[in-house]
Amino acid sequence: MIKQIPNLFTLLNLVFGCLAIVVTMQNGIIIQYAADGTQLIDIPERIWMASLFIGIAAVVDFLDGFVARLFKAGSEMGKQLDSLADVVSFGVAPSMILYQFLRMSIAREEDGLNASLIWLVPAFILAAAGAWRLARFNIDNSQSFGFKGVPIPAVGIVVASLPLIYWNNHSQFVVDLLFNKWFLYGLIIFLSWLMVSKLPMMALKFKDYTIKNNLPKIILLAVAIIAALFFQWFAVPIVFIVYIILSLLFKQPSS
């Protein structure tokens, strides 16, 4: 029974991913009209709950690996189950967030509410790329202390930060950017490419406790703290970019 505890954490990760999808889909587009007749379109603020559930799923995803090592209960089934949960929580759920942002972007255009579904389908490229990356990871035994391509949880967390950035900023430029379909398409392609690429990415695991061998992780932690203090939710994409830069600067073998 003890050996199944990590798998229960993994299933909890999956449940939170499902909840993120549910709250994303329950939030439709709000259409209002200003006094001059101008049509105002927005998304309900409750979509931030999807970000919350994806964040909790990320914490649980970290804990299932920790618990597996603690109880020495790692298994092939646990590895496969973890990937199945991750593709939902950090692939499908973030794709649904991007789907809603694309809906908003296109709805703001002339006759946008009647636009073809084909404009929204690219949101799911992210989920497909995440599934590809996880499948490749499962058959590659050389990724113990490093990754080939950006891990799907990192990408999922970046996308999950978008509603929080949208609802907690006072910049019209940021709003316009998040509701620019071409920016969103570019973001989808960029994040998807990062996952399926073979760029050497560092794993946030410690081989030992020396500063020399863990310098990039220490720098990343420092950046995360400073960015959170000064940039709030903007800290998430900032830390993500720094993570990629540090991984490329401090290249290390994947095993």
Which band of pLDDT confidence, cut at 50, 70 and 90, is reported for residue 63? confident
What would the pLDDT profile of 224-252 be if each residue is shown by its tens digit?
999 999 999 999 999 999 999 999 998 76
Half-sphere CA count of 125, side-chain side, radius 13 A: 19
User: In whole angstroms, what is the distance from residue 234 CA to residue 217 CA?
Assistant: 20
pLDDT at 123: 96
Res. 42: pLDDT tops 60: yes
d(CA 135, CA 129) in angstroms, rounded, equals 10
More confident residue, 147 or 196: 196
> How is residue 95 written in tokens?
């794709």
Instruction: Return the percentage of the chain with pLDDT > 90, whole number.
Output: 52
Q: Which residues, at least 6 apart from 34, have a Cβ–Cβ distance to it below 8 Å?
A: 40
Structure-token pair, residue 99? 């789907």
Q: Which pLDDT belongs to residue 30?
A: 65
Q: Per-residue pLDDT averaged across 5-23, rounded?
A: 91
Over the stretch 69-114, which tens digit does the pLDDT of each residue have?
766 666 778 788 899 999 999 999 999 999 999 988 888 777 766 7
- pLDDT band, very low/low/confident/very high, at 255 (cuts 50, 70, 90): very low
Average pLDDT of the residues in 134-139: 89
Q: How far is CA 157 from CA 121, 145, 235, in A?
A: 21, 21, 11
Cross-strand partners of 148: 200
Q: Give the residue-averaged pLDDT of 4-23.
A: 90
SS3 labels along the chain: CHHHHHHHHHHHHHHHHHHHHHHHHCCCCEEEECCCCCEEEECCHHHHHHHHHHHHHHHHHHHHHHHHHHCCCCCHHHHHHHHHHHHHHHHHHHHHHHHHHHHHHHHCCCCHHHCCHHHCHHHHHHHHHHHHHHHHHHCCCCCCCEEECCCHHHHHHHHHHHHHHHHCCCCHHHHHHHCCHHHHHHHHHHHHHHHHCCCEEECCCCCCCCHHHHHHHHHHHHHHHHHHHHHHHHHHHHHHHHHHHHHHHCCCCCC
CATH of 2-203, one of 1.10.3470, 1.20.120, 3.90.550, 3.30.1490: 1.20.120
Q: Token digits for 239? A: 């830390």
Mean of all residue pLDDT scores within the chain: 86
Strands 146-148 and 200-202: antiparallel
In angstroms, the CA 229 to CA 231 distance is 6
- Does the model's pTM come out above 0.85? yes
What values do phi and psi take at 41, rounded to 5?
-120, 135
